Amino acid sequence: MGKKKDVASLKGDIEITEHTLPLDDLCRQLRTCPLKGLSHAWAKVMSEKEGPNRLTPPKTTPQWVIFIRNVFSYFGILLWIGAILCFIAYAIQASSSETASKDNLWLGLVLTIVVLITGIFSFYQESKSSAIMESFKDLVPQYARVIREGQRLTLKAEEVTIGDLVEVQLGDRIPADIRIVEAKSFKVDNSSLTGESEAQSRGPDCTNENPLETKNLAFFSTNAVEGTAKGIVIRIGDNTVMGRIAGLVSGLDSGETPIAKEIAHFIHIITVVAFGLALALLAAAIALRYHWLDGVIFFIGIIVAWVPEGLLATVTVCLTLTAKRMAKKNCLVKNLEAVETLGSTSAICSDKTGTLTQNRMTVSHLWVEGGIVDAKLNDDCTSVGVAGYNKRDGYQKLVRIAALCSTAEFKGGQDSSVPVMKRDVAGDASEAAILKFVELAEGSAAKIRERFPKICEIPFNSSDKFQLSIHANNMTDKGCHLLVMKGAPERILERCSTIMTNQGEVAMNDKALDAFHDAYLELGSLGERVLGFCDLPLPSCDYPIGYNFNSEEPNFPLTELRFVGLISMLDPPRPTVPDAVAKCRSAGVRVIMVTGDHPITAKAIAKSVGIISPENETIEDIANRLGVPLSEVSPESASAAVVHGGELKELSETELDNVLRNYSEIVFARTSPQQKLQIVEALQKQGAIVAVTGDGVNDSPALKKADIGVAMGITGSDVSKQAADMILLDDNFSTIVAGVEEGRLIFDNLKKSIAYTLTSKIPEVSPFLFFILFDIPLALGSVTILCIDLGTDMVPAISLAYEKSESDIMLRSPRDPKRDRLVNERLISVAYGQVGMIQAVAGFFVYFIIMAENGFLPQDLYGIRPRWESRAVNDLEDSYGQEWTYVARKKLEYTCHTAFFVAIVIVQWADVIICKTRRLSLWDQGMGNWVLNFGLVFETAVAAFLSYTPGMDVALRMQPLKFVWWLPPLPFAVLIMLYDEVRRWLIRRQPGGWVEMETYY
């Protein structure tokens, strides 16, 4: 209970207020001093009170407990009971007679080995995915520089306590959550925490209520990348932002995967049936006055026959194969079961940046001489077309400013063969975008810069919002210097008195202003980042060559400039994403965008990739279109919504539920990672199976909580990768969709595989029942059953994982986990009730043939068992009056076992072929699955090997068969194929008809 409450409190948004307090108040509260730090004595007191500054490792289950749990799970218990009974039976037999057969001993050993191998395999799977906490440890700094009583000390990071004054400089990890009191061009990289890759400057001023946005806080385990700073520790250890996330991640229960639930459900059925049947048989055996030991041996026989020993291995191998296939498509699956989870996913909460988009700012539009120009990247990505504007004067000037007013440069050492779009740039994202644009449009930005050497510059600052530089002009003698400026469009406009239009430079007028505003609005509504550009040739008379420009106290004009144009940029969607989103839509998978970005940008991207489809409107759109205030639009009329993180905070659980229910297309913008978790939980409560993408440490709770967490291979932090079930190596949304397809396919194919495996249970169990109920000699032994389950059936069962899908699986809705079970009564009905029965009859047909051809006609077998089994009877008479010794008739019996075994192999040919398809005709499905074709040959070869290899009569009691004894099952194999073809024809002919209702699994 206590733990639950903890997790709930961790889920809330981070509550830090220390950054808003005046520094003096804070120092008084913490009894510290921004210059000298804590006193040693108080530091000791605090240290004792608050404990060490480290992340508490979660309580872990000891490895051996996990191991035991794995070995005794699933069929484990059942097989263990079988194995122990085998050993007991052997012990009793061995003590009562010297010549006891070692059958039960071998059987017990094989069962033990099977259960151990399966257990070890799943243990290995589990232990692989439990390294989340390890990854947090890597984030924690080792040492910290602390000032106490004015002395600089280097302490272990663990010893830092609240109120300590710490010093950090570039290259350090921040040792705790600190409030900055002093900073020199200090920048931190919060990417491990938030996933934002741009370094952020930090200083002593509180700039935002939100602790994650304010500039005067730096967080535990983030990196200092520039400058130095001093700060007061306000949170340590588990209470830090990072600590809370770590606590949340380890406290969250990600729950069972859908496939694990399905397998548990299936095993539940099998176990109940096996025990029920075995106990009924034990009771029957005792009622029929069998010796109790015989009863126990029957019990073992039934369990061995009924439990599909090889099935767990088959399922694991099938999932592994799919995981490998997905890895080839850049989708790395960490937890095998996640392969299928992806297939049942009904909602994907996707990040925007980098996942839906390319995470690469690109110039998309120019506004020049009063017109908006598309900056289209040509198909070969080597040039930019600007639709006839390239000779215009305004355009030429704009490009010149763009090239000059920038500090971005291509990083050295890059070959010119590297495409421009892929080159690395030193500088921020917008400048890089502009630089690349210039490079593509004009050939070389460096040439322009050579012509206009930079003389003076004013870097961008957040209060003025512009950047300026002054260049010498080697080209014209009219003016020696050129002033260029770029920045926020409205701020730039304010400083201009003239504007470039298609009539050349004119004085600023209303018409031009209107045109500017329209363009600015239009570009803004596309979610693009817009920059304004202006310039001014400085008259050479006032500013001669050698003029001493002073950037600290500008001795040149900053107003009355010439406005040239706008350049707008955006992070374009990945080209494959719109298709992928459309695929999701047709596959009934909801795509919800959850991003920290601005609503407008988010919405624009959502629209361009189809997350908000063109025909759908948000209430804002409707209000806009109708020209009425927002409040007058009823929320029901809209089917799309853009929800701001601020609004989300105000929503109650039910309101959020309503939002998710009422709108089919939702974009969550400006959300915090905690809200991501909230959204995931709300979706799960509605029964959805949710996939979530994320890259930051703070995404890891949502990743863990989601049914399938998807981390980003390129930008993702280690912690997020550990918390996730799957890693997208290319960070690409479409990869998820490819994964969904694979996941759905493997679910279908697992069904087929299980149907195939379960079918042979009927011919395996029926000999036992007949042995007990009709007293006929046993037709199939336990050892031969194991040969089928762990030998011949394995490869064909696995090969069904390679089966191609029957129809477009991306056109149907995700499966309803409550109704569409992996193993359902229809599957059982077809496998056990129909095909399995035909197989059993085929087996008995061969059995009767061999018995009859050797002398025992079927009618004479009834009731023969006690004398057949007795060593004392050395002269058992057959239908022709011949008399059989014990050894001779046992040899006959083992020949029957072998033939029955071969019969099962042969009818399993037919079974694996019909299992290829659940609805289509085999004619349409084809036999193109070469792994399956190999499986057919393989199982036959194994059967022949077991039958004909010398020594097998001793090892497995397999006897060589006459060739003709391979033939009797063939008519039954044909019957199975015909029967099932007809069944599937009926399913196709009458969709929703009785045959489909009762037999379509």
Partner 1 sequence: MSDKKGNNDGGFMKFLYNSDTGEVLGRTGMSWLKIIVFYIIFYAGLAAFFGLMLYIFYQTLDINKPKYQLGDSLIGSNPGVGFRPQPDQDKNVDSTLIWFKRGDRDDFKFWSEQLKSYVEEARKTAGKNCDFGADKASDKEACQVIVDEKKFGNCTVATDFGYKDGSPCVLIKLNRIYGWKPEPFGPARFSEAEFKKAIDDKANSDAKFPKILKTAIEKKLQEVNTEAAKEDVAKSVWINCDGENPADRENMGKISYAPMQAIQSFYFPFMKQPNYVSPFIMVQFESVTRGVLINIECKAYAKNIFPDRASRTGSVHFELMVE
Catalytic residue ranges: 351
Whole-number Å distance between alpha carbons of 73 and 115: 9
Question: Going by C-beta distance under 8 Å and a sequence separation of 6 or more, which residues neighbour residue 260?
Answer: 337
User: Cβ of residue 852: shortest distance to partner 1, in angstroms?
Assistant: 6
Q: Compute the radius of gyration of the chain from its Cα atoms.
A: 38
768 vs 972 by CB, closer to partner 1: 972
Q: Is 766 left (phi over 0), alpha (psi -120 to 50) or beta?
A: alpha
Residue with tokens 């763009």: 402
Whole-number Å distance between alpha carbons of 697 and 621: 35
User: Cβ of residue 797: shortest distance to partner 1, in angstroms?
Assistant: 25
- 376 forms beta bridges with 385
505 vs 877 by CB, closer to partner 1: 877
User: Cβ of residue 971: shortest distance to partner 1, in angstroms?
Assistant: 6
Q: Which long-range contacts (CB under 8 A, 24 or more apart) does 961-965 make?
A: 961/895, 961/898, 961/899, 961/902, 965/846, 965/849, 965/850, 965/899, 965/902
437 vs 847 by CB, closer to partner 1: 847
Whole-number Å distance between alpha carbons of 239 and 242: 8
User: Cβ of residue 837: shortest distance to partner 1, in angstroms?
Assistant: 6
The one-letter amino acid code at 291 reads H
Q: By 3-state DSSP, what share of the chain in percent is helix, strand and coil, each rounded to 5? A: 50, 15, 35
Whole-number Å distance between alpha carbons of 948 and 587: 51
User: Cβ of residue 887: shortest distance to partner 1, in angstroms?
Assistant: 4
Exposure string over 279-308, b if 16+ CB within 10 A, otherwise e: eebbeebeeeebeeebbbbbbbbbbbbbbb
User: Cβ of residue 307: shortest distance to partner 1, in angstroms?
Assistant: 25
Note whether 696 and 673 are within 8 A (CB): yes
Bridge pairing between strands 726-728 and 409-410 = unpaired
The one-letter amino acid code at 87 reads F
Note whether 876 and 868 are within 8 A (CB): yes
Nearest CA to 368 among 500, 540, 486? 500
184 vs 291 by CB, closer to partner 1: 291
Nearest CA to 54 among 139, 152, 180? 139
User: Cβ of residue 284: shortest distance to partner 1, in angstroms?
Assistant: 19
Query: Which pair of tokens denotes residue 952?
Result: 């097998």
Note whether 401 and 535 are within 8 A (CB): yes
User: Cβ of residue 259: shortest distance to partner 1, in angstroms?
Assistant: 22
226 vs 998 by CB, closer to partner 1: 998
Whole-number Å distance between alpha carbons of 315 and 125: 13
391 vs 818 by CB, closer to partner 1: 818
430 vs 999 by CB, closer to partner 1: 999
Whole-number Å distance between alpha carbons of 522 and 538: 33
274 vs 838 by CB, closer to partner 1: 838
256 vs 875 by CB, closer to partner 1: 875
Note whether 480 and 497 are within 8 A (CB): no
Q: Is 856 left (phi over 0), alpha (psi -120 to 50) or beta?
A: beta
Query: Which pair of tokens denotes residue 301?
Result: 């026989």
On the 0-12 / 13-18 / 19+ scale of CB atoms within 10 A, 569 is buried
User: Cβ of residue 302: shortest distance to partner 1, in angstroms?
Assistant: 22
Kind plus residue range of the DSSP H or E element containing 709 = strand 708-712
C-alpha to C-alpha distances, 596 to 282, 617, 694, nearest whole angstrom: 65, 22, 11
501 vs 895 by CB, closer to partner 1: 895
Note whether 728 and 711 are within 8 A (CB): yes
Neighbours of 586 (CB within 10 A): 12
User: Cβ of residue 591: shortest distance to partner 1, in angstroms?
Assistant: 23
Question: Going by C-beta distance under 8 Å and a sequence separation of 6 or more, which residues neighbour residue 293?
Answer: 89, 92, 93
Please report the DSSP string for 263-319 in residue order. Answer: HHHHHHHHHHHHHHHHHHHHHHHHHTT--HHHHHHHHHHHHHHHS-TTHHHHHHHHH
User: Cβ of residue 841: shortest distance to partner 1, in angstroms?
Assistant: 5
SS3 (DSSP) at 725 = coil
393 vs 998 by CB, closer to partner 1: 998
User: Cβ of residue 994: shortest distance to partner 1, in angstroms?
Assistant: 7
Note whether 332 and 320 are within 8 A (CB): no
Note whether 703 and 709 are within 8 A (CB): yes
Residue with tokens 């309101």: 655
User: Cβ of residue 300: shortest distance to partner 1, in angstroms?
Assistant: 20
886 vs 934 by CB, closer to partner 1: 886
User: Contact residues for partner 1 (CB under 8 A)?
Assistant: 687, 818, 833-834, 837-838, 841, 844-845, 848-849, 852-855, 858, 866-867, 869-875, 877-878, 880-888, 891-892, 895, 968, 971-972, 975, 994, 998
- Read off φ and ψ for residue 506, nearest 5 degrees: -130, 165
Whole-number Å distance between alpha carbons of 855 and 128: 59
58 vs 866 by CB, closer to partner 1: 866
